[in-house]
């Protein structure tokens, strides 16, 4: 079972959960390919699995293997990039409807997905050397506010609503201008993230590892916050973090392997 990666971390997490569930359901070895322009430095630099067969390179897949969808035959080393949207019709994968029991199934990282975060947390593990860089103790004395900016719009009504429910808060954001505005209006708040100015996950002129660490640290901070609010209710990043917050298995992500 090959799962490609594209778009933001929340999208990747949803698709990864679908791939893990599929791998377990059909007894397939999993390979995660996040070697795309957005993530850049690969999945296995940050994560591993427990109680789940997996490989770290597509070179371990026999060249004679049959592949579904057929588009990926001889293209398993091709990482996702923006072209995947133009090829969606050729990449469709849904294990609940397919009758193609090929040696290799490829989930393209876009389109249909389903998720079971409790199950994912039982098998996904953050690498030992990454844990100290991304794990934060739960914040309980103030709410955390998530100010998603840069590539997301919000209304003044959204801002007013958030200011009313969290007049003083821990501030987590990818947008320096939103942080400045919040702190001007609420100087007793505390900024807990260090965004790169005018940078989104589509930028290629940044150190991808540093950027990924920031994304993961902010995400896991939201996951563990006892109370959290967001400026944009449509943010999947926020929504998936709060789903993980409700998973009893969440802390097993940070079980040291050594």
For the chain, which residues make up each domain, given as ranges?
2-127, 132-246
- Provide the CATH topology of domain 2-127: Rossmann fold (3.40.50)
> How many CA atoms within 13 Å lie on the side-chain side of 141?
3
Given this model, what pLDDT does residue 234 score? Answer: 84
Given this model, what pLDDT does residue 111 score? Answer: 85
Token look-up 């919040």 returns: 182
Decide: helix, strand or coil at residue 191: strand
Helices (H), the chain: 9-25, 88-91, 117-123, 131-134, 156-165, 176-185, 208-224, 236-245
Whether residue 35 contacts residue 42, with contact meaning beta carbons closer than 8 Å, is answered with yes
Given this model, what pLDDT does residue 46 score? Answer: 97
The H or E element that residue 40 is part of is none
Cross-strand bridge partners of residue 173: 147
Whether residue 21 contacts residue 48, with contact meaning beta carbons closer than 8 Å, is answered with no
pLDDT single digits (tens) 71-80: 998 898 888 8
Closest by alpha carbon to 213, among 44, 28, 46?
A: 46
Whether residue 3 contacts residue 16, with contact meaning beta carbons closer than 8 Å, is answered with yes
Whether residue 133 contacts residue 212, with contact meaning beta carbons closer than 8 Å, is answered with no
Given this model, what pLDDT does residue 4 score? Answer: 94
Count CB-CB contacts under 10 A for residue 70: 12
132-246 has which CATH code?
3.40.50
CA 133 to chain CA centroid, nearest Å: 16
Q: Do domains 2-127 and 132-246 have the same CATH topology?
A: yes
Report, as ranges of residue numbers, the positions in the chain whose pLDDT lies below 50.
none
Closest by alpha carbon to 142, among 164, 184, 171?
A: 171
Tokens of 214: 């920031």
Given this model, what pLDDT does residue 241 score? Answer: 95
pLDDT single digits (tens) 39-89: 988 999 999 999 999 999 988 999 899 999 989 988 988 888 888 888 888
């Amino acid at each position: 079972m090959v799962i490609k990666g594209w778009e933001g971390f929340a999208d990747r997490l949803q698709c990864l959960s679908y791939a893990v569930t599929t791998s377990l359901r059909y007894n397939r070895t999993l390979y995660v390919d996040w070697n795309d322009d957005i993530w850049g430095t690969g999945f296995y630099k940050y994560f591993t699995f427990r109680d789940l067969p997996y490989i770290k390179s597509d070179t371990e897949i026999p060249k004679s293997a049959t592949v579904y969808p057929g588009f990926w035959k001889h293209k398993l080393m091709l990482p996702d990039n923006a072209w995947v949207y133009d090829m969606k019709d050729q990449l469709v994968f849904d294990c609940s409807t397919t009758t193609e029991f090929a040696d290799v199934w490829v989930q393209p990282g876009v389109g249909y997905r389903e998720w079971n975060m409790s199950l994912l947390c039982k098998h996904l593990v953050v690498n030992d050397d990454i844990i100290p860089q991304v794990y934060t103790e739960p914040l309980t004395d103030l709410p955390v506010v998530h100010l998603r900016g840069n590539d997301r719009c919000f209304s003044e009504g959204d801002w007013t609503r958030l200011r009313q429910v969290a007049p003083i808060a821990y501030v987590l954001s990818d947008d320096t201008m939103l942080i400045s505005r919040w702190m001007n209006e609420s100087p007793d708040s505390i900024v807990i993230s260090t965004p790169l100015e005018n940078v989104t996950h589509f930028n290629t002129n940044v150190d991808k590892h540093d950027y990924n660490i920031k994304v993961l640290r902010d995400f896991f901070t939201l996951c563990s916050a006892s109370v959290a609010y967001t400026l944009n209710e449509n943010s999947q990043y926020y929504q998936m973090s709060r789903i993980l917050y409700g998973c009893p298995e969440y802390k097993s992500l940070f079980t040291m392997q050594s």
